[in-house]
């Protein structure tokens, strides 16, 4: 799929362990800003995942299909535990250089220690979504500027819901409705008093 030079793409990799109504809200909001939002389930090398990536990608794919939004594209082939690889794969597939890497404010400090950080910041701009309870510290802002990182801080209002909250909440209230049946039938996240 070749895009015109004016079209902006957001790339949104997430652990999706499981996807929450917070993920759903982020995707819906991104579709109002970007021509396309490409999303996939990923393995975060800094996290211990509860379910295997095949399960997490199934859940995320189900959520995307339920949204029925042509501007939100699920593409698991982009997934890599290394951001640089996902970025390069995405650029090759969609033949676009205008790529924004979506990241939550809870993870923004981590980027400075990412593998190939120096290459990543030349390839993408960061679109930072503010997560309640995770303000962007002035020290982090200064580091972003010192490293000449291109970034934009989103004004999106995202509920304070994390996958770990869903895993310990047995009533499924923060799980998108389209995922409840799969989670129940496959007996997922049942014995989780688990630390993120």
In a domain, 194, yes or no: no
In a domain, 70, yes or no: yes
pLDDT digits (tens, 9 = 90+) for 178-193: 999 999 999 998 754 4
Closest CA to 13 of 4, 26, 2: 26
In a domain, 196, yes or no: no
pLDDT over 80 (residue 95): yes
In a domain, 91, yes or no: yes
In a domain, 193, yes or no: no
The pLDDT score that the predictor gives to residue 3 is 55
The pLDDT score that the predictor gives to residue 194 is 40
Our count of domains for the chain comes to 1
Q: Which structural domain range is residue 45 located in?
A: 9-185
pLDDT digits (tens, 9 = 90+) for 18-67: 999 999 999 999 999 999 999 999 998 888 899 999 999 999 999 999 99
Burial of 104 (0-12, 13-18, 19+ CB in 10 A): middle
The pTM (predicted TM-score) of the whole model is: 0.91
In a domain, 158, yes or no: yes
Q: What is the CATH number of the domain that holds 107?
A: 3.40.50.620
């Amino acid at each position: 799929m070749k895009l015109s030079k004016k079209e902006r793409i957001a790339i949104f990799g997430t652990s999706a362990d499981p996807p929450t109504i917070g993920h759903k809200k982020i995707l819906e909001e991104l579709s109002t800003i970007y021509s396309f939002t490409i999303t996939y389930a990923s393995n975060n090398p800094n996290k211990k995942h509860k379910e295997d990536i095949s399960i997490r990608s199934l859940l995320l794919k189900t959520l995307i299909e339920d949204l029925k939004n042509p501007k939100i594209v699920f593409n698991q082939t982009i997934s890599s535990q290394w951001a640089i690889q996902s970025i390069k794969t995405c650029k090759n597939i969609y033949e676009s250089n205008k790529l924004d890497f979506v990241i939550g404010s809870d993870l923004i400090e981590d980027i400075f220690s990412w593998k190939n950080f120096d290459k990543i910041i030349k390839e993408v701009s960061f679109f930072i979504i503010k997560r309640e309870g995770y303000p962007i510290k002035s020290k982090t802002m200064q580091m972003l500027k010192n490293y000449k990182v291109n970034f934009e801080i989103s004004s999106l209002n995202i509920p304070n819901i994390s996958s770990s909250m869903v895993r310990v909440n047995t009533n499924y209230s923060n799980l998108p409705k389209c995922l409840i049946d799969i989670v129940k039938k496959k007996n997922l996240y049942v014995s989780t008093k688990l630390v993120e």
